[in-house]
Structure formats: structure tokens, C-alpha cells
């Protein structure tokens, strides 16, 4: 049976693996999550048991002594420096995921600690909490988890509440889609025949149009920015679980194969012609190896290019953009296909690692220029958005074939999207609508192999983009404020990232805030890559072959 320490490591890897650096992380733990983690790491549970049951047994064995909870030994780290309290926090989130909600999103929070006591096998003491877990005892574990994530370039979503809800809000904040909400969503998917080939953005847009099944889901659909991307990922996971297991959960869902979703990667060939490639996303929480995709008879091994994404490959034909396409995956029991979803538009952001390239890299921020690839029927609505002062672009639409056009240097210029009807472009209207009207950008700098990190002495400049004429920038390093000044939107601030450390950049304008995390590392952090040197690659000088600084005698 896996130990508490095994589960602690497994949960950390599950929620961070495949997450792009800079993204937000939820410690979302449900019975389905535990079954998936267990099956992928240790196979099918024996003796008709479940991995959720195994997890609870491991937590109870290590966190409960003589009928009392003991988390005092969890305040340190394991040999890797990873926080020891994550599995216990996962048990707290599991209790939150099991809480009943009604369609009006009335969460019965008063029974949370009773449920937690049941999860830990100890019941509830006189304080209304599990014995041995006094008020606030668990908060340092949440603080350690937040520090761990931020030190690795992620942003934690764990937040405490106000007043009597201060401590209970931590685990509730991590349960993005509870078991009750998953069941409601699966009923909607069945009744409205949602297909398996959609991506998270399409699922979200369709749910908005069809009507959310509860107030909780409606609140999720209203989130913007990186929070909206988290919702899209969670809803896609529910849809794929629905199709993989026919609506069942538990071990059957964990054993069912799912699909990888590809975006687009835009390049230009030597003639200046636009070429689109498949840009597969890594699935969060799934550690996969030796995946091979068959595209038009050619087998291609998927290789991780950066956290969250595989290397782009192949070519996407214009006629495939409207109908989508599906390519088989071989060599995996957990993934059976790579899907390019059928869509009416694609928003392609600049690739920070490759100048001049654009890709499906999430939702653009305020002040960012992107490429908008869209089907011609949407062009009339997009022109209307420009006439209303919502966005602008450079030049005329460029035809790319099969009824698709490309708009270049597209930038959102207005924040009054709610006042302009979407017309026939509802999903595009939602995607272009900015999150709050403020963004934090970094420009220039020398990046390391670890995307999101910069070398000391080569750090980038910082700017705040806003629809308003004033903004404020706060910079914290290691949790300590080192800069807090009014700034002119769009103007670069230099010299604030001049030391090694983990930085939190907060831009604010008219009460709206945006946060960005940046790491600055020493030059010693650079990985030394061994060059593949062979004599046949050098210059023949007669008695020897010279390659770089090496001489090979004949």
C-alpha cells in the first residue's frame, strides 16, 4: 500500500505536472482524482478496493494518533524540500468536494468539519472541529503550500475567508467543480449531446449559451483571465470523463482513455507564406511517456517543449480548421487520440521563446497584440466591433484558404464589451473581452531554459497596460515590498528586477488588479548541455578533423 509520503508526492506532481509556468494551481482532490492518480501510478487497486480508500487509510495512519489529529510533524519538508502537509490538505479538500450543494449554490458549510472528521475517522470534538485540530492549526500548512508553488513559478488559488469562514474557505476554494456539480454537468452533456472533440473554451461558450445548470456553474462561467482558463480546463476534464466512462466515475473513469487537445502554432516559411502546425497541450495531472501520434500515415513522437505544451509538428490544412480532425495515439493506455477541435476562430499570442511566432498560448492580456484567425462569416461582426471602438488591427484581412482569413496586430482598445451585442460571434465576443481592464507585461530580458525565469543582470522591463489613464505598480521580492509607485500605462519600468529572487508584480487601475509572477535566477542555474560531437561533423584539415575547439586525429 502506498504510504502517506507516496501520496503526498503523487498529489503534488498531479496538480503541477503539465501546468504552464505562471498559471494558477488548484489542489483539487476528489474521489475521481484519487482513482486517476492511483491507477496511473500504481495500477488497478487490488482486492476490489479503491484508491480513494487507500488514500484515506494512509492519511489516517499518519495524521491520527490515539483518536486525535496530529499535524505538528508536517510543518517541514521531505528530502526534496516539498511540503509534507499536502496529502493532509488534500484530505481537507476531499471533504469539501463531498459537501452537498443545491442548485442555488447554497453550500452547507456548517457540516464541513463533521465531514472532515469522517474523512479522518475521528469525528468532531467539543470545538466543532476534529480532536487535536484547534482553530487555525492547519493554516501554516496552506502557507507552506503557497510558498512552494510560488517558488516554482505557479500561483496558488488557496485563499482564506473572512471572519468565521477564514479557515474553512481554504479547502472550499480548491474544490473547483464538486461531485454534485460534476453530476449536474454530466446530465447536461447527455441531454444536449455535447461531443467529445471539443476543447475547454468551446465547452464553456456552449454552456453560457445553453444555460448553466446551477448558480455555482454560472459563477464559474463568469470568471475571466487566468481564472477562466482554469474553469475551461476543469469543464473539459468533466466532458472527457463523461465520454470516456459513459458518465460513470471511480476506477472505470480512471481506466478509460481520453484525448489530448491541440491548438495551433503559426510560422512563416521562407516565401512568407503562413504555415499552421499542431500544438498539443500537456494534460494537467497526467504523466505520460512515449506517446506517438499517427498523422496521415506518419508516426511522430510527442516531446515536451515547455511546461504545458508539446513541440509543434505536422501541418494543419485550412479545410481542417472548420471541421476539426482526430489523429490516433499509440502506446498509451490513458490517451487514444489527439484532437484539433472544430472552431470558428483562433486567437494566437506571440511566442515569448520565438520572436515572430504565434501560438495558442492562452488568453491575451490588455495591451497585447495578437493574430486573429477566423472564419469569413464572423468578419462582419468583427468589423462592427472595430467600429464600436472595441478593437483594432493593422492592414486588411489576409485570406489563408478554405473560407478563413487572418487579422494581424489585433489589439483590444475598449472595455465596453457589455454594451455591444455579440451578434453571431458570441464565443469570439467572450474570448476578446478583457479580464478587468488591466494587465502586467514584461519586455526584453534574457530567459533561461526554464520558461518564465530570467538571468540576473538580464531581467526584463515591467509595464502595466490599462484602459484608464493612471495605474499603480507594486513589486514584491520574497514577500517583501520593494517598489510601489504610480506608473503611466504602457511605459516601461526598469531596474526593479535586479536581484535573484521570486517576484510578484501587481498592477492596479481603478480598483482592478492583475498579478504576474517572475523568477530571476543566478547564472549558475543554467544547465550545461553536452554537445553531440562526432569527427564526421568537423572540417577535414588533412591529418585531422577540427570541430569547434576539438581536434580529432585521423
Higher-confidence position of 271 and 376? 376
Highest mean pLDDT among 146-150, 262-266, 416-420: 262-266
Higher-confidence position of 54 and 511? 54
> How sure is the predictor about 105, in pLDDT bands with cuts at 50, 70 and 90?
very low
Residue 72 has pLDDT above 90, yes or no: yes
Which positions ≥6 away from 43 have C-beta within 8 Å? none
Highest mean pLDDT among 132-136, 223-227, 362-366: 132-136
Q: What is the pLDDT of residue 279?
A: 97
Residue 101 has pLDDT above 60, yes or no: no
Q: What does the pLDDT average to over 119-146?
A: 91
pLDDT tens sequence across 307-330 = 889 999 999 999 999 999 999 998
Decide if 505 contacts 463 (C-beta within 8 A). no
Q: Percentage of the chain with pLDDT > 70?
A: 93
Higher-confidence position of 221 and 392? 392
Q: What is the pLDDT of residue 336?
A: 87
Q: What is the pLDDT of residue 104?
A: 44
pLDDT tens sequence across 453-474 = 899 999 999 999 998 889 999 9
Q: What is the pLDDT of residue 288?
A: 73
Q: What does the pLDDT average to over 493-522?
A: 90
Nearest to 484 by CA among 495, 469, 494, 473: 473
Averaged pLDDT of the chain = 87
> How sure is the predictor about 106, in pLDDT bands with cuts at 50, 70 and 90?
very low
159 half-sphere exposure, CB direction, 13 A CA radius: 7
> How sure is the predictor about 247, in pLDDT bands with cuts at 50, 70 and 90?
low
Lowest mean pLDDT among 94-108, 294-308, 531-545: 94-108
Instruction: Show the cell assigned to 321.
Output: 480548421
**Residues facing 77 on adjacent strands:** 83
Lowest mean pLDDT among 8-12, 176-180, 189-193, 239-243: 176-180
> How sure is the predictor about 442, in pLDDT bands with cuts at 50, 70 and 90?
very high
Q: What is the pLDDT of residue 102?
A: 45
Higher-confidence position of 225 and 464? 464
Q: What is the pLDDT of residue 71?
A: 96
Residue 385 to residues 376, 380, 399, 412, 468: CA-CA distances in angstroms?
A: 15, 9, 20, 10, 20
Q: What is the pLDDT of residue 415?
A: 86
Decide if 277 contacts 267 (C-beta within 8 A). yes
Higher-confidence position of 452 and 212? 212
456 sits in the region (left: phi over 0; alpha: psi -120 to 50; else beta) called beta
Q: What is the pLDDT of residue 473?
A: 96
CA 266, CA 534: separation in Å to the nearest integer?
34
Query: How much is the pTM?
Result: 0.81
> How sure is the predictor about 510, in pLDDT bands with cuts at 50, 70 and 90?
confident
Q: What does the pLDDT average to over 257-273?
A: 87
Instruction: Show the cell assigned to 35.
Output: 482513482
Residue 534 has pLDDT above 70, yes or no: no
Q: What is the pLDDT of residue 103?
A: 44
Q: What is the pLDDT of residue 110?
A: 59
Higher-confidence position of 248 and 439? 439
Higher-confidence position of 355 and 531? 355
Give the sheet arrangement for strand 550-553, strand by strand: 539-540, 544-547, 550-553
Decide if 452 contacts 153 (C-beta within 8 A). yes
Amino acid at each position: 500500500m502506498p504510504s502517506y509520503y507516496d501520496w503526498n508526492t503523487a498529489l503534488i506532481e498531479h496538480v503541477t505536472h503539465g501546468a504552464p509556468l505562471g498559471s494558477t494551481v488548484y489542489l483539487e482532490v476528489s474521489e475521481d482524482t484519487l482513482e486517476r492518480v492511483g491507477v496511473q501510478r500504481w495500477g488497478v487497486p487490488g482486492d476490489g478496493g479503491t484508491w480513494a480508500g487507500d488514500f484515506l487509510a494512509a492519511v489516517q495512519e499518519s495524521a491520527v494518533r490515539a483518536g486525535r489529529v496530529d499535524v505538528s510533524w508536517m510543518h517541514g519538508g521531505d528530502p526534496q524540500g516539498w511540503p509534507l502537509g499536502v496529502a493532509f490538505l488534500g484530505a481537507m479538500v476531499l471533504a469539501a468536494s463531498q459537501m452537498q450543494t443545491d442548485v442555488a449554490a447554497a453550500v452547507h458549510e456548517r457540516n464541513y468539519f463533521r465531514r472532515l472528521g469522517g474523512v479522518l475517522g475521528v469525528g468532531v470534538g467539543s470545538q466543532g472541529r476534529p480532536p487535536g485540530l484547534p482553530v487555525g492549526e492547519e493554516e501554516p500548512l496552506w502557507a507552506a503550500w503557497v510558498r512552494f508553488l510560488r517558488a516554482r513559478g505557479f500561483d496558488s488559488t488557496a485563499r482564506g475567508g473572512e471572519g468565521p469562514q477564514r479557515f474553512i474557505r481554504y479547502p472550499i476554494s480548491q474544490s473547483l467543480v464538486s461531485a454534485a456539480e460534476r453530476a449536474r454537468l454530466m446530465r447536461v452533456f447527455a441531454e444536449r449531446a455535447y461531443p467529445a472533440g471539443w476543447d475547454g473554451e468551446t465547452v464553456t461558450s456552449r454552456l453560457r449559451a445553453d444555460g448553466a445548470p446551477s448558480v455555482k456553474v454560472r459563477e464559474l462561467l463568469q470568471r475571466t483571465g487566468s481564472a477562466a482558463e482554469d474553469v475551461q480546463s476543469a469543464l473539459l476534464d468533466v466532458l472527457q470523463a463523461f465520454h470516456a466512462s459513459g458518465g460513470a466515475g471511480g476506477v472505470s473513469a480512471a481506466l478509460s482513455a481520453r484525448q489530448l487537445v491541440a491548438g495551433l502554432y503559426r510560422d512563416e516559411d521562407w516565401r512568407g507564406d503562413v504555415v499552421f502546425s499542431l500544438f498539443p497541450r500537456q494534460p494537467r495531472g497526467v504523466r505520460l511517456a512515449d506517446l506517438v501520434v499517427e498523422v496521415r500515415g506518419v508516426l511522430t513522437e510527442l516531446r515536451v517543449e515547455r511546461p504545458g505544451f508539446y513541440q509543434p509538428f505536422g501541418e494543419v490544412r485550412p479545410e481542417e480548421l472548420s471541421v476539426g480532425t482526430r489523429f490516433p495515439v499509440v502506446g498509451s493506455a490513458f490517451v487514444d487520440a489527439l484532437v484539433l477541435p472544430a472552431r470558428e476562430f483562433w486567437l494566437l499570442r506571440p511566442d515569448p521563446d520565438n520572436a515572430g511566432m504565434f501560438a495558442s498560448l492562452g488568453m491575451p492580456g490588455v495591451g497585447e497584440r495578437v493574430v486573429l484567425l477566423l472564419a469569413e462569416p464572423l468578419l462582419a461582426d468583427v468589423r462592427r466591433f472595430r467600429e464600436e471602438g472595441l478593437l483594432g488591427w493593422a492592414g486588411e484581412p489576409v485570406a489563408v484558404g478554405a473560407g478563413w482569413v487572418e487579422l494581424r496586430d489585433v489589439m483590444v482598445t475598449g472595455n465596453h464589451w457589455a454594451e455591444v451585442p455579440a451578434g453571431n460571434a458570441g464565443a469570439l465576443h467572450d474570448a476578446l473581452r478583457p479580464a478587468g481592464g488591466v494587465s502586467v507585461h514584461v519586455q526584453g530580458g534574457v530567459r533561461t531554459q526554464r520558461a518564465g525565469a530570467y538571468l540576473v543582470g538580464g531581467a526584463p522591463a515591467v509595464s502595466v497596460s490599462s484602459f484608464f489613464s493612471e495605474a499603480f505598480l507594486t513589486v514584491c521580492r520574497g514577500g517583501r515590498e520593494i517598489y510601489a509607485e504610480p506608473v503611466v500605462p504602457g511605459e516601461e519600468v526598469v531596474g526593479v528586477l535586479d536581484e535573484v529572487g521570486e517576484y510578484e508584480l501587481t498592477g492596479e487601475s481603478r480598483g482592478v488588479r492583475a498579478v504576474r509572477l517572475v523568477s530571476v535566477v543566478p547564472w549558475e542555474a543554467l544547465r550545461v548541455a553536452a554537445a553531440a560531437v562526432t569527427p564526421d561533423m568537423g572540417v577535414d584539415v588533412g591529418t585531422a578533423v577540427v570541430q569547434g575547439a576539438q581536434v580529432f586525429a585521423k
